[in-house]
Structure 1
Amino acid sequence: MKDLNVGCQTFTWEMLGERFTGGPDDLLKVIADGGYAGIEITDTMIGRYADRPAEFATALRSAGLTLVSFAFGSKSGFTLMESIGADLETAKRWIDFAAAFPGALVSMGSATVVSDGPRDDKFAIAAEVYNKAGELGRKAGVDIAVHPSSHHNTLLFDRADYDRIFRLIDPSLVGWVPDT
C-alpha cells in the first residue's frame, strides 16, 4: 500500500471567530503536532504571512508541513456582476501567493446568493469568475478548484444545482475540491 499523506484545513479554527486568539504559527504547530503532512490555509487565517510567501514557506519547512491549498471566498459570493473585477484581482493575489509553493492549488469558495435577482444570472456570473480565475491560474502554473457547498444562502441547493454549475465551468481550467 502506498503511503498516504494527510493535510489539515484551517477552517475548523476559523469557525471559532474571535474565540480563536492564535495566529498562523499556532496553527502550523498544532497541525504539525497532530502528525499531518500538509495544510490548506484560508485568506482569513494566513495572518501576517499574507504578503510574505517566502516567510510562510520558511515557517512551513520549520514545521515539516507542505502548503497543499490556499482557500478564499468573497463577500460577493462570486455572484455579483459589479464585483467580478475585484473578485478576479483577489484571485490573482492568492494565485500569485500559491505560485511560490510548487504543487499548491487555489480553492475558491462556493457560489453564494448575496443579492436579489434571477438565479440564472448568478450561475452565469459565478461560472465566469471561476473560469477566468482558472485562466489566471493556468498562466501562473497554479491549479484552481471550486469548493462547492450547500450552506446558508447557497446558490447550490441540490444535485441539479451542482450539475448546473459544473456544466458551466471549464474542467480544463477549474477542478473540484470536495469536503473530506
Structure 2
Amino acid sequence: MTDIRFACQTYSWQMTVDAYRGRLDHMISVSAKAGFAGFEPEVVMLGEDWTASGLRSQLADHGVQLAALCLVEEWSGPHETAAEAAEADKVIETVAGIDGAVINLCQFPGADRAQLRARQDNLLSCVDAVSARAEAADVHCTFHPNSPAGSVFRTDADYAYLLAQLPERIGFTPDLGHLAKGGMDPLEVVRRYRDRVDHVHVKDMHADGSWARTGEGIIDIPAVTRFLAETGFTGWIVLEDESPEAEADPDRAVARNGAYVRDVLEAVIR
C-alpha cells in the first residue's frame, strides 16, 4: 500500500479563464465527481474577491482536500514587489489554516531568456523570501519550474542550477510535461532529484511537443508513479490536461483524468 494521493489542478479550466474564474464550486464539484481526493487551484482561478473561509467552505462541502494553492508571480527583480509580497502573504495566511496543504510556487515565463543567470538568481531570492515567511507560519513551499521559451528554468542545465541553489526549506515539484518539453526524460529527472521531490504535476505530451490527453502521449506516467510509490513518496500527484480537447471541454478532461487515475495509476501503486 502507498500514501500517494491524487488531486486535480485547475489549468484545464484556466485555458478559458474568463469562463471559469471564480467558479470554485463548479470546479471543485467536477473534481469530486471525477474521484479526486484533492484540489489545487491557481490563485487566478479563485476570482477577484476570494477569501480563505470561502475556499475552505466549498472544499468541505464536496469532501475534497486542498492539496496546494498555486501562487504564480513575475518575481523578476531581486526582491518581491509590494503587490507580490501582499499576494504571497494572503496565500500563506490561507494555507496556514488548512492541514496538509502546501504552497506551490511558479513563475510566469518571460518573453525570452536574456540575462538568464541574473533572472534565475532574482527568482531564487524572491521565493526564498516567500518561503521564509511561510515557514514562520508553519507552511511548506515547493517550487514548480515550467517550459515555455521564456522560462528561466527549462533545460537540464537550468534544473541542475535550480536544485543546487534552491533553499532546503523549499521542495521540488517536477511537472512531467514540462520536463519532456524541456528535452528531458521525466523519470530520470525524478530519480535524480528524488530527495527534493515532495509534490508532482502530471500532464502528457506528443512526440512533436504538443500537449496530449493524459495517457495518449509519450510520457511514461505509470513508470514515474510506480517509482514514487516504491521510494515512499507520500505527497500529492496532481493531474492536468492542456490538450486542445481539454481547452474545448475542461469538465470532460477532468473526468477523463479521474478515470485514468482509477484505471491506470492506482493499479500500479497497489
2:62 paired residue number: 63
Tell me: CA distance 1:16–1:152, structure 2 relative to 1, closer, same or farther (3 Å). Answer: farther
- Any conservation in 1 of the 2:145–2:154 contact (CA below 8 Å)? no
The structure 1 residue matched to 2:153, chosen from 152, 156, 166, is 156
The structure 1 residue matched to 2:97, chosen from 64, 77, 100, is 100
Distance in 1, Cα, partners of 2:160 & 2:87? 26
The structure 2 residue matched to 1:133, chosen from 130, 133, 136, is 130
Deviation for aligned residue 1:162: 1.2
Q: Does 1:88 align with 2:72?
A: no
1:24 paired residue number: 24
1:11 paired residue number: 11
Q: Secondary structure at the match of 1:109?
A: strand
Deviation for aligned residue 1:22: 6.9
Q: Does 1:178 align with 2:174?
A: yes
Deviation for aligned residue 1:93: 1.6
Equivalent residue letter for 2:151:
T
Q: Secondary structure at the match of 1:151?
A: coil
Q: Which has the larger radius of gyration?
A: 2
Q: Deviations over 1:12-58 (max 9, x none)?
A: 111123344771110011001111111001111112662x2123212
Q: Which moved more, 1:18-27 or 1:6-15?
A: 18-27
Distance in 1, Cα, partners of 2:21 & 2:54? 21
Distance in 2, Cα, partners of 1:164 & 1:3? 30
Equivalent residue letter for 1:53:
A
Deviation for aligned residue 1:115: 7.8
Q: Kindly tell me the number of residue pairs found equivalent between the two proteins.
A: 176
- Any conservation in 2 of the 1:54–1:100 contact (CA below 8 Å)? no
Q: Which moved more, 1:61-70 or 1:9-18?
A: 9-18
Deviation for aligned residue 1:124: 1.1
1:46 paired residue number: 46
- Any conservation in 2 of the 1:10–1:40 contact (CA below 8 Å)? yes
Deviation for aligned residue 1:175: 0.7
5+ residue gaps, structure 1, are none
Equivalent residue letter for 2:156:
R
RMSD (Å) for aligned C-alpha atoms: 2.3
Deviation for aligned residue 1:153: 1.2
TM-score, normalised on structure 1?
Answer: 0.86
Deviation for aligned residue 1:99: 1.0
